[in-house]
Amino acid sequence: NAGVTQTPKFRILKIGQSMTLQCAQDMNHNYMYWYRQDPGMGLKLIYYSVGAGITDKGEVPNGYNVSRSTTEDFPLRLELAAPSQTSVYFCASSLGGLTDTQYFGPGTRLTVL
């Protein structure tokens, strides 16, 4: 199994540009998550999904959109990129439930100039 994969690994955007961060998992997990991690600030949840067709906002959803049309894929869309969106973005997946383990992807480093 490849686990959780993310593309691209790195990206530089200009202010106002848009892009989609791709995330895929091959573990048949129900839950998928998008986090951003700023230096020394831990993980902040952007959006999550408990299954195909179901998404919900996390702690910091403004400026982002998601969709979940299949179990495997959970893309994150940035519209009108701003310097405040410079961060490392992690996608994760899990089976769901209380005693749950999240499996993280390798991350996408995004810089907005």
Partner 1 sequence: QKEVEQDPGPLSVPEGAIVSLNCTYSNSAFQYFMWYRQYSRKGPELLMYTYSSGNKEDGRFTAQVDKSSKYISLFIRDSQPSDSATYLCAMSTASGGSYIPTFGRGTSLIVHP
> Could you list the residues that contact partner 1 (CB under 8 A)?
4, 33, 40-43, 45, 48, 50, 56, 58, 90, 92, 96-107
**Residue 102: CB minimum distance to partner 1, A:** 7
**Residue 52: CB minimum distance to partner 1, A:** 16
Determine how many CB atoms are found less than 10 A away from the CB of residue 10. 10
Cis status, amide bond into 8, omega within 30 of 0: yes
Which residues does residue 93 pair with via DSSP β-bridges, in sequence order? 32, 103
Distance between CA atoms of residues 62 and 79, nearest Å: 10
**Residue 49: CB minimum distance to partner 1, A:** 10
Comparing CB distances to partner 1, the nearer of 17 and 37 is: 37
Distance between CA atoms of residues 80 and 16, nearest Å: 4
Comparing CB distances to partner 1, the nearer of 17 and 60 is: 60
Comparing CB distances to partner 1, the nearer of 90 and 112 is: 90
| Length of the chain as a residue count | 113
Comparing CB distances to partner 1, the nearer of 48 and 64 is: 48
**Residue 77: CB minimum distance to partner 1, A:** 21
Closest CA to 56 of 42, 72, 83, 74: 74
